[in-house]
Structure 1
Amino acid sequence: MKVKVILTFLLLTTCFAVFSQEKHNTAVVEKGLIKVSVMYPYAEGKTFNVEYYETKHMPMVAGFLGSNLVKYTIEKGVASGIPNQPLPFMAIGTFYVKSLSDYQAAIGPNRDAIRADFPNYTNVTPVILVSEVVK
C-alpha cells in the first residue's frame, strides 16, 4: 500500500512538473512574435458564420503564411465586458507569426483572394491590429 501511495505521488509530481514546464515554454516562445488580430465588430443585422471561418477561411489564410505561422486562434464573442451592453466583437481571428515582413510578403499577393472569401462567412468589414507580443 505504501509503495502505491509513493508511486502515485511521484506520478502526480512528474505530471505537474511537465505541465508547468509546458506552460512556461509557451510563454517564452510567444514573446517577440507578431500578432495579427482580425476583429469583426458586432452591429445589428451583421452576420458571422463561425463554422465556415474555422473550416475554410482561416486554414486558407494559414496556408498562405506557411512556415512563418506559429499558430492561429479563433474566438467567438459571447458577451461584453459590461453587463447588458452589446457585444463589441462577433469574432476575432488571430495569427501569431515570426516575421512581419514575411507576413506582409505572404498576404500581399493573396489579398484579393482573402477579401473575396469574406462574403462566404460575414457581411462585416474587419478591424485589423498588428502588434508585437511583449509577454
Structure 2
Amino acid sequence: MIKLTVMYPNSADLTFDKDYYVNQHGQLLKELLGDSIVSSDINFGIAGGSPDEPAPFLVIANLIFDSMESFKMSFGANSEKILTDLPNFTNTHPTVQISEII
C-alpha cells in the first residue's frame, strides 16, 4: 500500500481556510480520485513537542492507495487540477511525501 502525506507547515503569516479544505477541496479529491483512495484522514495540528509549543504543521493529510500504479493513475493524472486548487484555501506550499506502508 502507498501513503501520500501532505503537510502544510505552520508559520506566522500562514492563511488556511479549514472549511474550504475539508468541504470543497475534499470533494474535489473524491470526484477526481474516486475509489482509488482506500482511506484518508486530516490532522489539524494543535501543539508541538509540548502543549505550549505551536504545531510545526498546521495540517497533515494522508491518502492511502492500493499501489504506486493506482496512485499514478489517479493522483498523478489529476495533479495539475489538484494543485491549481491550493490558492483557494492557503498561501503556503505543502511538503509532500510518498511512503510504502508495511
Q: Which runs of no fewer than 5 residues in structure 1 stay unpaired? A: 1-32
TM-score (ref. length: structure 1): 0.69
2:3 maps to a residue whose letter is: K
SS at match of 1:130: strand
Deviation at 1:131, TM superposition (A): 0.9
Conservation of the 8 A alpha-carbon contact between 1:69 and 1:95: yes
Would the alpha carbon gap of residues 63 and 100 (structure 1) be closer, same or farther in structure 2, given more than 3 Å must change? farther
SS at match of 2:24: helix
**Residue 48, structure 1, aligned to residue 23, structure 2:** no
1:73 maps to a residue whose letter is: D
1:95 maps to a residue whose letter is: L
SS at match of 1:47: coil
| Equivalent residue, structure 1, for 2:90 | 122
| Equivalent residue, structure 1, for 2:74 | 106
Q: Which runs of no fewer than 5 residues in structure 2 stay unpaired? A: none
**Residue 84, structure 1, aligned to residue 84, structure 2:** no
Conservation of the 8 A alpha-carbon contact between 2:36 and 2:74: no
Number of corresponding residues? 102
**Residue 67, structure 1, aligned to residue 35, structure 2:** yes
Highest RCO, 1 vs 2 (Cα 8 Å, sep ≥ 6):
2
CA RMSD in angstroms, aligned pairs only: 1.5
Matches within 5 A, 1:24-43: 33-43=1-11
- Deviating beyond 4 angstroms after TM superposition, the runs of 4 or more aligned structure 1 residues are none
TM-score (ref. length: structure 2): 0.88
Q: Percent identity?
A: 34
Greater Rg by CA: 1
CA offsets per residue over residues 31-86 of structure 1, 9 Å max, x none? xx211110000011111111111101122123322222111111111110234333
More strand by share: 2
CA offsets per residue over residues 79-106 of structure 1, 9 Å max, x none? 1023433320000111011111121122
1:86 maps to a residue whose letter is: P
